[in-house]
Amino acid sequence: MGESKKSRRQAMLLDSPWSEYDQMLEQRLSKKRYKHSLAVMERAIELARRFGADEEKAKLAGLLHDVMKDTEDKILLQFIEDSDILLTYADRAAPQLWHAIGAAVFLQKRLGIVDEDVLAAVRYHTTGRAGMSLLEKVVYLADLTSSDRDYGDVAKTRRIVDRDLDQGMLYSMKFLIGDLVARGRLLHPDTLACYDELVRAGVQIS
């Protein structure tokens, strides 16, 4: 990471509560995941600005979306079960989703964050869902197109996302669902509902 990029990030996290969040993430996450969190924060702010979402909320949800990503499954599951969230059968069958649900619980219970839109953006950042808000789409797509991402299709995904969030959602859904099917993995109902809604709305990738 270049010095200017680094200092720009540091400047964004100087004041309370950002500096506390920053320290907490650095402690809880691997170096790679910590850098990813900062990159998603930056990308979320950029997309929020571009598409008129709330930049502070995008910053918050982007920074904290993976706060539970390096927590052990067993501990994560217990943490969720100790909250008032009831897991569906499909949720239980998708361990990759637990860190998102757990993070939303963490934000609410440990950090006292009450904004429903921020909590939903964190909660649905792995599956998507039908009826996503502007902020939810911004965070979902920031996670997939942050500067640290390097999967084969990332440049094209970024281009589409920069043009249109719904097209970006559809393109990502097609890519992710195709990948899950190819690997014989389960599809979460929220992901299918997200995809269906985009298709039903007539979204087309131009």
Query: Quick check: bond before 189 cis, omega within 30?
Result: no
CB of 19 to Fe ion, least distance (A): 21
C-alpha distances in angstroms, 159 versus 39, 96, 136, 151, 179? 17, 27, 19, 14, 20
Choose, by CB under 5 A, the member of 42, 46, 66, 190 that binds Fe ion: 66
Asked if 143 is part of the footprint of Fe ion (rule: CB under 5 A), the reply reads: yes
User: Closest CB to Fe ion among 66 and 136?
Assistant: 66
User: Closest CB to Fe ion among 51 and 69?
Assistant: 69
Q: Compute how many residues bind Fe ion; rule: CB under 5 A.
A: 2
User: Closest CB to Fe ion among 40 and 203?
Assistant: 40
Span interacting with Fe ion, options 115-123, 135-143, 172-180, 181-189, rule CB under 5 A: 135-143
- In this structure, what token pair is assigned to residue 92? 């239980």
CB under 8 Å to 80, separation ≥6 — which residues?
87, 98, 101, 102, 105
C-alpha distances in angstroms, 199 versus 90, 158, 202? 23, 20, 5
Span interacting with Fe ion, options 66-74, 104-112, 174-182, 184-192, rule CB under 5 A: 66-74
CB of 200 to Fe ion, least distance (A): 27
Span interacting with Fe ion, options 15-23, 42-50, 140-148, 152-160, rule CB under 5 A: 140-148
- With b for 16 or more beta-carbon neighbours within 10 A and e for fewer, the 122-148 pattern comes to bbbbbbbbeebebbbbbbbbbbbbbbb
User: Closest CB to Fe ion among 91 and 143?
Assistant: 143
In angstroms, the CA 13 to CA 21 distance is 8
CB of 121 to Fe ion, least distance (A): 12
- Chain residues binding Fe ion by CB under 5 A are 66, 143
